[in-house]
Amino acid sequence: MADTLDDDAVAERLRGLPAWHRDGDAIRRRVRAPEFLTGIDIVTDVARAAEDADHHPDIDIRWRTLTFTLSTHSAGGITGKDFALAAAIDEIAARHGAE
């Protein structure tokens, strides 16, 4: 099981991923897709990355706005796995022209 990161480590890593913020035991970002179906493509690509990593986000879809929430449930907090998937989500969002 991955170790949870302490508050300072979470804050330090968030500085490298400015689209993300902390909410309790999770990190979260909103992605605004150019079109609804582009948002669904983003969700599909994130789902594939999540399966590859065996680490899965909570995803909220509202028209063109996607919200991704990452936490390591088995560890009861935020771990390096969450930041690795966060970076992958940033790359996928950028590739699809999302903000």
Interface of this chain with ligand H2B, residues 11 to 70, rule: CB under 6 A: 54-56
Which is closer to ligand H2B, CB of 35 or CB of 60?
A: 60
Helices 36-53 & 80-95, crossing angle to 10 degrees?
150
DSSP letter at 76 equals: T
Which is closer to ligand H2B, CB of 10 or CB of 72?
A: 72
- Out of 23, 47, 60, 74, the only residue in the binding site for ligand H2B (CB under 6 A) is 74
Per DSSP, the three-state class of 98 is coil
Instruction: Please tell me the count of residues contacting ligand H2B according to CB under 6 A.
Output: 7
**In this chain, which residue has its C-beta nearest to ligand H2B?**
74
- Beta carbons of 66 and 31 less than 8 angstroms apart: yes
